[in-house]
Structure 1
Amino acid sequence: MPAWVEEGVAEYRKRLPAEIQFDIKELPLPKRGKNTDIRRAIAQEGEAMTAAIPAGDRIIALDVLGKAVSTESLAEALASWQMEGDNISILVGGPDGLSPACLALARQKWSLSAMTLPHPLVRVLFAEQLYRAWTINNNHPYHR
């Protein structure tokens, strides 16, 4: 990832309190060529992704067809997760999206935007929104 991505995520990670851990587990993308079977590639990516999800995590898939999520609804979800003690895995698909298996595992499917966003931007955007959600729940002035 470019330095600006690492710096952006690190900044919001630093601002979050210790009880909210924001970890990114990046899985290598298999090589693709002109003759790559896209469905097979998506399935392989999905297998690797599902294997990397810690047992017991609540799974949320980021998908262009998912429900649009506001910052306020993320804040409500964050408060609920903290009260219930849930660990969350947010799944971000490869260049062709998430596998059907990953989508089937997800309790919820969210869309960050109707536009397609590059992975580096999704990382920074989600880190900032997680921090913003926490500030809303804690009456911190950042959100205003």
Structure 2
Amino acid sequence: MRLHLITVGTPKLAYARMGWDEYTTRLKRYHKVQLSHVAGKTPEAESAAIRKAAGKAPLILLDPRGTQFTSEGLSADLDARALGGTGELAFAVGGPDGHTDELRAAAAALWSLGRLTLPHDLAMVVLAEALYRASTISAGEPYHRG
């Protein structure tokens, strides 16, 4: 499956750049991965840039209103989407003000990383690591230890 990770901006902190690079590189062992960093001066401009970057791919927004998954649950959800014929998924981490209501309404799904508010840079790393972990679970590999 092709996974398109879309973020508003790039990781700015050194630990986040290292984590983002590490987990997106690992993720490429399991999926075709595309990375897009978009910009916008307003939430509306950011949302427009995200929608354009996603193209026709089903868009999954990271949003606190979304579904929370365990690692196994995320793995199962991704497997089900792949079996359902989804050849590509686009995941988007919004800017500091989040996604617009219009983008949320157009999204295929909303995914919450949890009830805590995470710094933007850290949310990017958590997204990449969670997708990597879910991929190793699907592959039956030992990275995930429950």
**Shared fold, TM over 0.5:** yes
Structure 1: 5+ residue stretches without partners: 31-40
Query: How far apart in 2 are the matches of 1:80 and 1:67?
Result: 15
Q: CA deviation at 1:22?
A: 3.3
Residue-by-residue CA offset, 1:93-138 (whole Å, 9 max, x unaligned) = 2211101121011111111111111111011111111111111111
Q: Which amino acid aligns with 2:112?
A: S
Please state which structure has a larger fraction of its residues in helix: 1
Amino acid at match of 1:140: E
Aligned partner of 2:52 in structure 1 is 51
Q: Which runs of 5+ in 2 are unaligned?
A: 1-11
Structure 1 pair 17–51 and aligned structure 2 pair: CA distance change class (3 A): closer
Written as runs of structure 1 = structure 2, the 5 A alignment for 1:56-71 is 57-71=57-71
| 2:39/2:49 contact within 8 Å kept | no
**Number of residue pairs matched?**
133
* CA distance, structure 2, for counterparts of residue 142 and residue 48 of structure 1: 34
Counting only pairs closer than 5 Å after superposition, residues 45-124 of structure 1 correspond to structure 2 as: 45-55=46-56, 57-83=57-83, 84-124=85-125
Question: What is the rounded CA distance, in whole Å, between the counterparts of 1:128 and 1:66 in structure 2?
Answer: 18
Instruction: Calculate percent identity across the aligned residue pairs.
Output: 34
CA RMSD after TM alignment:
1.8
Distance 1:13 1:110 in 2: 19
**Whose radius of gyration is greater, 1 or 2?**
1
- Structure with the higher fraction of residues in strand conformation: 2
Q: State whether residues 63 and 110 of structure 2, in contact with CA within 8 Å, keep that contact through their aligned partners in structure 1.
A: yes
Q: Please give the per-residue CA displacement for 1:66-116, whole angstroms capped at 9, x wherever unaligned.
A: 121221111012222333242111122221110112101111111111111
Q: 1:10 is aligned with what amino acid? A: D
CA distance in 1, matches of 2:114, 2:24: 22
1:19 shift after superposition: 4.7
CA distance 1:119–1:143, shift in 2 (3 Å): same
Alignment TM-score, normalising by the size of structure 2? 0.80
**Does the Cα contact within 8 Å between 1:81 and 1:87 map onto a contact in 2?**
no
TM-score, structure 1 normalization: 0.81
SS of the residue aligned with 2:99?
A: coil
Q: What's the counterpart of residue 25 of structure 2?
A: 14
